[in-house]
Amino acid sequence: VLLKIADRIEQNLEILAVTETWDNGKAVRETLNADVPLAADHFRYFAGCIRAQEGGAAEINELTTAYHFHEPLGVVGQIIPWNFPLLMAAWKLAPALAAGNCVVLKPAEQTPLSIMVFAELIADLLPAGVLNIVQGFGREAGEALATSKRIAKIAFTGSTPIGAHIMHCAAENIIPSTVELGGKSPNIFFEDIMNAEPQFIEKAAEGLVLAFFNQGEVCTCPSRALVQESIYDDFMKVVMKKIVKIKRGNPLDTDTMVGAQASEQQYDKILSYLKIAQEEGAELLTGGAAERLEGDLSTGYYIQPTLLKGHNKMRVFQ
């Protein structure tokens, strides 16, 4: 079944990719080449895990043998974030289904569409009731799922405060929980990188520019960079050359590299941090404001790729 789901995803690659872009605002080049293909890969991977899984037996003594059986938990609850709606769903769905569980999945209220299209595409591959999708706001639907006595395990990807609350709910019901929470990943660049081959320096700079991948909406994005002072000027010249080449625009254009923020809330939050940073004295190297596009895109939640120079006491750094 998992292999059939993977096949179905690939057969509908363009439909799912465009839907994901409409839903989230990310560039379709990412959904076509990363998000959706990786979702299919996850279902194939866990299909392979099933074949690799073996039971175990141990001889306690000449009269006693212990057998180890892997059994499904039952019904698992899953709460998905808005930055990678389909891919994060695949991360949780594939192993849960591989282990024989039923799933109640709540997508983020900001991105409710693509998971529904996905569920419709695979509806004939799963028995009724195995995959259940509950739409709603976290305070109502997510809370109900996390506190339900009928859930055998809860899995969550999202912010650290909400993750702590999910773990508390799971502890009260004495059920296992898996949480993947926010990050603020720093990249550290020491002076010896400038002694390497030019290709290595280019790759190091690309690593920093990945801060703008998926509009920066990735918990492992290098949103902070610590650059050794002795190489700062030379290294940042390489970085800046790459940033100015980032094409912004219509997310459905396959040449667009950075699309729109996922929601007005996220858009406003980013702009507020940019304002705070400059008020605290951060030096604006590039960007720093909303992206003013024309036509139908004029009201979209677009923000310029921004690079700030400051110190680790600044709120935007922390």
Question: Residues 117, 123, 126, 127: is their CA dihedral positive or negative?
Answer: positive
Indicate if 264 belongs to the active site. Answer: no
Position 190, amino acid: F
Question: How many whole angstroms separate alpha carbon 49 and alpha carbon 47?
Answer: 5
Among the listed residues 106, 110, 86, the one whose alpha carbon sits nearest the alpha carbon of residue 267 = 110
Question: How many whole angstroms separate alpha carbon 184 and alpha carbon 218?
Answer: 9
Centre a 10 Å sphere on the Cβ of residue 141 and count the other Cβ atoms it contains: 17
- Among the listed residues 49, 143, 191, 219, the single catalytic one is 219
Phi, psi torsion values for 192, nearest 5 degrees: -70, -15
Alpha helices in 183-231 (DSSP H): 198-209
Cα 63 to chain centroid distance, Å, stands at 51
Among the listed residues 113, 117, 107, 115, the one whose alpha carbon sits nearest the alpha carbon of residue 158 = 107
What torsion do the CA atoms of 111, 113, 115, 118 make, to the nearest 10 degrees?
Answer: -150
- Among the listed residues 10, 109, 180, 280, the single catalytic one is 180
Question: How many whole angstroms separate alpha carbon 282 and alpha carbon 291?
Answer: 20
Residues 6+ apart with CB under 8 A from 123: none
Centre a 10 Å sphere on the Cβ of residue 124 and count the other Cβ atoms it contains: 8
Position 7, amino acid: D
Question: How many whole angstroms separate alpha carbon 178 and alpha carbon 162?
Answer: 13
The answer to whether 225 and 232 are in contact (CB under 8 A) is no
Indicate if 180 belongs to the active site. Answer: yes
Rg of the chain on CA atoms, in Å: 23
- Give catalytic residue positions: 180, 219
